[in-house]
Amino acid sequence: MRDVRVRFAPSPTGNLHIGGARTALFNWLFARHNNGKMILRVDDTDLERSTGDSMKAIIDGLKWLGIDWDEGPIYQSKRLDLYKNYADNLVKEGKAYYCFCTKEELDEMRNEAQKAGKPPMYTGKCRNLSADEVKKYMDEGKKYVIRLKVPKEGKTIVHDIIRGDVEFDNSTFDDFIIMKSDNMPTYNFATVIDDYDLKISHIIRGEEHLSNTPKQILIYEALGFEKPNFAHVSMILAPDRSKLSKRHGATSVQEFRDLGYLPEAIINYITLLGWIPSDGEEVFTTEKSIKEFTLDRVSKNPAIYDTKKLTWLNGIYIRNCDIDRLTKEVIPFLINKGLIGDNYDYDYIKKIVSAIREREKTLNEIADAMSYYFNDEFDYDEKGVKKYFEKNGVDNILKEAIKVLDKVDDFNLVETEKAYRDLIEKLDIKSGDLFHPTRLAISGRTFGPGLFDIMELLGKEKTIERIKKAVKYIENLKGE
């Protein structure tokens, strides 16, 4: 087998969506598995729609995910001479020809074909123009494109690693354009030339390109190039089985990042959309997928992405994440929510993160769950109030709690718990009668880390202050 060289070739017309990310990932896994090279190429021959911002977004997205490349980015727009030369040669060899048809003429052709109930194909009007005619039109300065002479008979077969052989009848293709009138190559033409020029061994791309592949093969054959191997990965669909778009919520890796997902969780998840290790274990490192990744194990079915599973995976990665890294990841979310400013106490935040992380699934959720550590003004959970604060005698229990907590000198997890346990015994109440209202008083919530963890983190002063405030609140409730 020749050296493995693969490429990811986005067109810079938007950000990196999860489908593109998965295509990049599968290329990358394949390259790394085979000790091959990964090449990043930018298919920017559409001058109208290509933007630098979008390219930057795609590169950022890839880097953030940890997908790197060995060569590139290579911009097609900077290699125009290459395409032009090959196109001119094809014309010289009689394998392609100049076409001077105008947009209006083409539209008319299409309309007539439609009327006749035939597919809207180019009729080959300029296919047999004489040299004189060509010269005449050229001299007149008429705009032209270059079309490939497609054989009218025979079949073109795509040998696809994932799908097997796929046959196409050549009669279903017309003489398609390879060079546009602005001297830019069309996608199919530029792709073939670059893939050849860059010595790409395996073209791994989305299924939407499968129908284009026979055309590309026709170009390979006209040019006399050796063909690469093809593998078309199924598409990722929205939950309603339609094509992914903005209305389906987060679809780009940037959006998932802003929602608080970790890159390794996203990588793990999108790998799972079409591939699974031989042991069936669904949580795995990239080392493992690199080691095991082969194309013949890639699924043919289109996949619908399910954020629930992504979220579950993210929770696992959050729980296993290095605490310093996790803290650093959470801080921007905290700042964003206005919970902390630029001068923050890193060690304090780290302690809170470590108390909270195991019950949250995204960085965003962690930041939300941390609010009461920084913010004294919070509302009590409504259901919690009904359940715990409106119970007879809670105010007295909490008053007793204040007294015992006040006597705790070393205000830590062990000592506060000891004080509480003693109080429960003394008052002869159930632990929940004290724990639940206290939790609500100091955090406003009915769930969260262990009660004494919260107390220790909050410190004596704030803990007691908040319980006092809750007592007042409860007395107010009774007064009404």
Partner RNA sequence: GGCCCCGUGGUCAAGUGGUUAAGACAUCGCCCUUUCACGGCGGUAACAUGGGUUCGAAUCCCGUCGGGGUCACCA
The answer to whether the beta carbons of residues 407 and 377 sit under 8 Å apart is no
Identify the CA nearest to 236 among candidates 183, 282, 274: 274
Q: To the nearest whole angstrom, how small is the minimum distance from the Cβ of residue 347 to RNA?
A: 22
Region of 319 on the Ramachandran plot (φ > 0 left; ψ -120 to 50 alpha; else beta):
alpha
Q: To the nearest whole angstrom, how small is the minimum distance from the Cβ of residue 182 to RNA?
A: 6
The verdict on whether omega for the bond into residue 151 sits within 30 degrees of 0, i.e. cis, is no
Q: Judged by CB, which is closer to RNA: 43, or 395?
A: 43
Active site residues: 246
Q: Judged by CB, which is closer to RNA: 137, or 435?
A: 435
The answer to whether the beta carbons of residues 193 and 43 sit under 8 Å apart is no
Q: To the nearest whole angstrom, how small is the minimum distance from the Cβ of residue 395 to RNA?
A: 19
Q: To the nearest whole angstrom, how small is the minimum distance from the Cβ of residue 93 to RNA?
A: 21
Q: Judged by CB, which is closer to RNA: 197, or 207?
A: 207
| Residue 246 assigned as binding residue | yes
Instruction: For residue 117, give the amino acid letter.
Output: G
> Cβ–Cβ contacts within 10 Å for residue 392, how many?
7
Look up residue 150 and give its DSSP letter.
-
Proportion of the chain in helix, strand, coil states, percent, rounded to 5 = 55, 10, 35
What is the C-alpha separation between 148 and 175, in angstroms, rounded?
5
Which SS3 state, helix, strand or coil, does residue 129 take? coil
Q: To the nearest whole angstrom, how small is the minimum distance from the Cβ of residue 441 to RNA?
A: 12
Q: Judged by CB, which is closer to RNA: 281, or 342?
A: 281
Q: Judged by CB, which is closer to RNA: 182, or 379?
A: 182
Q: Given CA atoms 131, 134, 137, 140 in this order, what sign does their dihedral have?
A: negative
Annotated binding site: 246
Annotated binding site for ATP: 246
